[in-house]
Chains A and B, each alone.
Chain A
Amino acid sequence: MLKELDPLLHSQLRLAVMSVLLSVDEAEFVYLKEQTGATAGNLSVQIDKLSEAGYIDVQKIVYTNRKTRTVCRISEKGRQALAEYVRTLKEYLNL
């Protein structure tokens, strides 16, 4: 019996975000938007979902000129979830 795939990571945009964050210490919202090609609104929603699940840590820095900078980092829980997800995918595809 195959394990169920994590529904939170099964969305391609959320998976793309997690994959980018896996190979860096931290990445800005703008960078994630460039890399994934998503719209700001959609990306923002998906980042909130990942953050609520504890898969990523999001830090919003507000500057004095009202500009904000959003920085995302993958958490240990997220790292484990992604590793588990890839393992399940490989089992699923008999790789």
Chain B
Amino acid sequence: MENSRNQAEENLRVIAEMINLTKRNKDIDLGNLFLLWGYLCVLVPLAVYAMLLVTGNEKWKLLYFAIAAVGCLVTFINRIGREKAVTTHISHIIEDILYVTGTTSVLIVIFCSETGFQYYLVITQLIFSIGVRIIGGVLEDRRMKFISVFVICISGIEFGYFDFFKGLYTNMDILVFACSFALMMVLPGYRLKRQAYRDVQLK
């Protein structure tokens, strides 16, 4: 009788542990995704900013395409080893949102570099902040929702008063872009991972 009871308790523990472990892995994967794209969207613009400041050569702006190239390459390499190990309905939705926002942003940068339209960073920032707002809604993450709405407002103001913004400081739009992604993606990425570890007390 006591043995059966122990076995029953043990089995309940197995169910809870497996569900927690799976949830933790999903959150860590999502956190890593946010960190990868977040850091790329912060570091590459900062590199462009520095090169523009040093050389003054506008061709350094082509480096923006490195965000998409490096991001896709790293994601692809990561998947070679593990294929797509696990999928959930939420991960499908989030990947779709990031795919649509990312592709649209790349198309906008291509279009703008062809036509000389200067608003591409602001538009990209706006598109991503809308994407992050939707992800925040899917994950029911209040802080993510708040930060993305804040970036949407900043982008709107920047879009409306673009010349004023640009005139404030040399290439101000690049710095705002980098800061927005640090807020929207890097910070939530770390928070998601920290939360995942804390939830199962593994840290």
Residues of A within 8 A of B (CB): 5, 10, 12, 15-16, 19-20, 22-28, 30-31, 34-36, 69, 82, 86, 89-90, 92-93
Contact = CB atoms under 8 A, between A and B. Distances in A.
Give the dominant DSSP class at B's interface: helix
Interface string B1-23: 00011011111101101110111
Nearest to A94: B5
Given A12-B14, A15-B11, A86-B12, A93 B83 contact: no
The dominant DSSP class at the A interface is helix
Interface stretch (B85-93, B139-147, B179-187): B85-93
Interface residues of B, number: 27
Nearest to B82: A30
Contacts of A26: 86-87
A19 B88 CA distance: 14
Nearest to B89: A25
Contacts of A24: 22, 26, 86-88
A84 B10 CA distance: 17
